Structure 1
Amino acid sequence: MVDRRVQRLHQWREFGRRRDERAVADGVVGVGVLDGRGDVPANMLDGVAGSRWSSGVPMAAGQSVTVDTGAVRSLARITMDSGGSANDYARGYQVFLSSDGVSWGSAVASGSGTGALVTVDFPAQNARYVKVVQTGASTSWWSIAEFNAYG
């Protein structure tokens, strides 16, 4: 049985949890929009709620982030927390999974965010890469303070 308790990246590494039980994001592969102000993509994986990645421009359909979980594993949930930037959550999204970062197939989930913490559940699938594509729009930037993926 897979333990589905939420674990932050820094907690996982600090306490040496078994990687086959929980999935976390190890690296950001690509970001469709880069903010030149220092809100770098790695901030969404650092375990620090006070840091973030931001688009640096208003949200628009087609913006995306792609995260490498480090290995192919069973994934069934992601969370995107905009933290202190409460209005910067994804207004609309599609989630895609891939084992190789090249072939994506159809979206495994889609929906609309309604607040700072966006939780997306989908049927468990084996994958290494997670891509979130923005489908909504807003005058706010798209920011992610913490991104997590779970099995």
Structure 2
Amino acid sequence: MLDSEAAKWVAGTAYHCYSGDPRAQSALHDAHPGKGIWFTECSGSHGPADTPEQVFRGTLTWHARTSTVGTTRNWAKSVADWNIALDTAGGPHNGGCDTCTGLLTIGADGTVTTDAEYYTIGHLSKFVKPGAVRIASTSFGTTGWNGQITDVAFRNPDGSTALVVHNENDAPRTFAVAVGDRTFEYTLPGGALATFTWPRSGALPSPKREIQLIGATATAQPATDGTAALAVDGAASTRWSSGAAQEPGQYLQIDLGRSTRFDEVALDSGDNLGDYARGWTLSASDDGTTWHDLRTGTGTGQLTTVNVPGTRARHLRVSSTGTAGAWWSLADIRLYRSQ
């Protein structure tokens, strides 16, 4: 329909959660970027033998990954659960779903129980204000579940930021958040969902445009079966790792495919804390043969941001100059240009 003459009468597309994957929303957005995407219905469900505890945990973890984070990272303008309130028998209904769950369960005596959807929707409805826009953030989890940290971030109209984070794993995971030159670390229990907020403070950072590394290739030493390409695939849920303790001489090298101007390089080691380079050198080359060093430094955390204003090069190399028992990982290398 969006490819037909009728498209001019269509504002966009509504999705439900009962089949498929939220990434389908991004595929549709890429095909029709001028059309809206709304996520308008989802419900938890239970089987006849499920305990309330099983229903709550399973619903919370699935909805957190798929609805709270998954839909919003894939262009949804709205998130809605169905139903708002049900009785203890899952009703009233007229021949519809009798295993669905709601945000609230109302007992015969009027008592109210908050269900998992109350919290998964609550992280958005309480902290993400009307008129907010989603802003870029690095997510390591996938809607298909890979046991990592997944997240989504929003900028509210008053300039404040809301970051919603879900731990897909059953075990606790520790992650780092970096905003400008400020960072913090947090350990999130297994399966948990948490929101972090901070107010607008002073002037916002100068806008930067990420340079898409389309067609870029990478090599590494140690080679580790050709996984170097995972550091330039634009997906933080994949990574290159050294597969051995850190030592000087290890490197990852990128061919951008063409001479490219950039002002900043982000070296993101992902969410496995401790596998950042203890010491590093960033070098550049026009031909892949003659190199010159841009910056050297000491790693202090998972994300290292290197300012190299006005640099132009086709090839980049990040070399390890330190020693550590931990492996060295690079989930993403990102280039930015000042606007």
Give the TM-score of the pair, scaled to structure 1.
0.78
Higher helix share: 2
- Give 1:139 shift: 0.4
Task: Determine which of 242, 263, 285 is the counterpart of 1:76.
Answer: 263
Q: Identify if the C-alpha distance between structure 1 residues 127 and 88 changes in structure 2 by more than 3 Å, giving closer, same or farther.
A: same
Structure with higher RCO (Cα < 8 A, 6+ apart): 1
Please give the per-residue CA displacement for 1:95-148, whole angstroms capped at 9, x wherever unaligned. Answer: 11111111113x110101111111111242221100111111110101011111
Measured against aligned partners, the alpha-carbon deviations of 1:28-87 in whole angstroms (never above 9, x if no partner) come to 332111225x8x111112222221100000010111111112210212221111112221
Letter in 2 for 1:83: G
Do 1:98 and 1:128's aligned partners in 2 also have CA atoms closer than 8 Å? yes
2:310 is matched with 124
Structure 1 segment 31-42 matched on structure 2, within 5 A: 31-36=220-225, 40-42=227-229
Bigger shift: residues 116-125 or 136-145: 116-125
Aligned with 1:112 (options 282, 298, 311) = 298
Q: Identify unmatched segments of 5+ residues in structure 2.
A: 1-205
Q: Which runs of 5+ in 1 are unaligned?
A: 8-21
1:139 alignment partner AA: G
| Distance of 1:25 and 1:143 partners within structure 2 | 21
TM-score by length of 2: 0.36
* Aligned 8 A contact 1:50 1:84 in 2: no
> Alignment partner of 1:87: what SS?
coil
- Cα distance in structure 1, aligned partners of 2:298 and 2:207: 23
Tell whether the 8 Å contact from 1:51 to 1:145 is kept in structure 2 after alignment.
yes
Alignment of 1:36-75 (within 5 A): 36=225, 40-75=227-262
Once the two structures are TM-superposed, the CA of residue 24 in structure 1 deviates from its matched residue by 3.4
| Overall identity of the aligned pairs, in % | 33
Report the Cα distance in structure 1 between the residues aligned to 2:266 and 2:284, rounded to whole angstroms: 14
Amino acid at match of 2:272: S
Please state which structure has a larger fraction of its residues in strand: 1
- Given the alignment, which residue of 167, 189, 213 partners 1:24? 213
What is the deviation of 1:4?
5.4
Aligned residue type for 2:221: G
**Residue type of the partner of 1:116?**
Q
Match for residue 5 of structure 1 among 183, 189, 208: 208
User: Max radius of gyration: which structure?
Assistant: 2
Give the Cα separation in 2 of the matches to 1:53 and 1:98: 22
Aligned equivalents of 2:224, 2:270: Cα separation in 1: 17
Report if the CA contact (8 A) 1:83-1:144 is conserved.
yes
- CA distance in structure 2 between the aligned counterparts of 1:112 and 1:43, rounded to whole angstroms: 23
1:6 Cα deviation after fit:
4.9
**Comparing 55-64 and 71-80, the one that deviates more:** 71-80
C-alpha distance in 2 between matches for 1:53 and 1:6: 24
Q: 1:96 aligns with which of 283, 287, 291?
A: 283
Matched residue SS, 1:137: coil
2:231–2:330 Cα contact (<8 Å) kept: yes
Counterpart of 1:77, as a letter, is E
